[in-house]
Amino acid sequence: MKRLYFGTDGVRGPYGSANMNEDFAGRLGVATARWLQEKGAPPGSPVLIGRDTRRSGASLAQALADGLAEGGYAPHSLTVLPTPAVSHAVRSRGAVLGAVVTASHNPAADNGIKFFGANGIKLTDEEESRIEALLPAGRTTTAKYPMKEIDGAADYLKAMAAVLSGRLDGWKIVLDSANGATVQTSGKILRDLQAQIIAIGAEPDGLNINAGVGSEHPEKMAAAVKQHGARLGIAHDGDGDRCILCDELGVVLDGDEILTLLALHALQHGKLARNTLVVTVQSNLGVESAVKAAGGRVLRTPVGDRYVIERMLAEGAGLGGESSGHIICADVAPTGDGLVAALKVIGVMLATGQPLSVLRQGLVKFPQLSLALKVRTKKPLETLAHLPKAIGTLEGELGDRGRVLVRYSGTEAKLRLLVEGPSEAVVRAGLERLRVAASADLEVL
């Protein structure tokens, strides 16, 4: 379904651009209030708004609240809070909607807005399209709504404390909070479990979120693990719904490795719901191979953790996620949560007595390379002259020994190319062919 403003994870863009400024946020608030009215949400019902640490977050959150209040609802501020904690607050406090002002793993110059329904699950494509259709051309008031602040962190921390049984006495853990929304949450839980924390990216200033730290830049975490002799490293993105890990040898684990580790352990103990793991088309073929060999099945969805969640609900699955580090453990939360994922992996380490360097060996990846090309315009792929032919030829050559994935980013002006195959040489050559074809069709920046 075509949407003008919403992408794979909310509305996102450079702060100050046409679709990410206070005026747009206010109009989006009005449109969302109209949508809530259509759904029968009683006027005056609470809406909870959280944000990450970006400098632009407070004013955008206020503008969004003003629009929601203009439409007849009662916004409350959760201040700085991880995205999964906003989902939890919506469910625990009976709000009709939750909103997070965040651009996730993007640089500080960007910002965004995403919504959770009353069930704590992200809105569907259809719901987002309807909100877009209700956008007003302008605002009828510029009044500032005095939002009441709510402590959403306390409820979230209480829920997180119940995820892991046991203590982490003697454990050194490197924790990279990306100078983002998890600064006051993940470290608190791990310290309460008696772990010794080596903190990275824990001094947000409004401009340094994701800047050389976090899940997009795990090299500092990996170096710190080796330097301090830590048991593992944990890296979040700016809003805390992702988790990338590092084993005790300083080797980084992505979402595919985390998902496979958790799925194999659950299958071994008969605890993987419906014996099913849900991943996206981005995940490595090795995930399917490992899970099938252990007696499970793997289902794929389009890229985006909300599509994973939708499929999990439809299939009755309990575990799913993305290679980027969005991990959904449905027994705890109906959305990606980087802290939950880390605690679940630590639980497997405690249960097996095995280090991450051993546990990660359950996944043997197919050779895979990817490339992101910045493009001026996202022309429909099916209208291009060269790229579709190159894709078809390469897929025919690979057969069942690999796969090709070409898609536009849902949040950035980028064309993403991915090739898996029987050897790195084959993959590298195939990726170059796709790059050349794409460059012939599109204005690559």
Q: Which positions are catalytic?
A: 104
According to DSSP, residue 274 is labeled G
Per DSSP, what are the bridge partners of residue 129? none
Tell me the two tokens of residue 34.
């109209």
Q: H/E element holding 359?
A: helix 356-359
**What's the rounded Cα separation, in Å, for the pair 347 and 321?**
18
CB 373 within 8 A of CB 438: yes
Task: Quickly count helices (H) and strands (E) in the chain.
Answer: 14, 19
**What's the rounded Cα separation, in Å, for the pair 113 and 15?**
11
Distance of CA 364 to the CA centre of its chain: 24
**What's the rounded Cα separation, in Å, for the pair 300 and 205?**
39
Distance of CA 66 to the CA centre of its chain: 27
Question: Cβ atoms within 10 A of the Cβ of 295, count?
Answer: 12
Q: Which residues contact 332 (CB under 8 A, 6 or more apart)?
A: 159, 163, 340
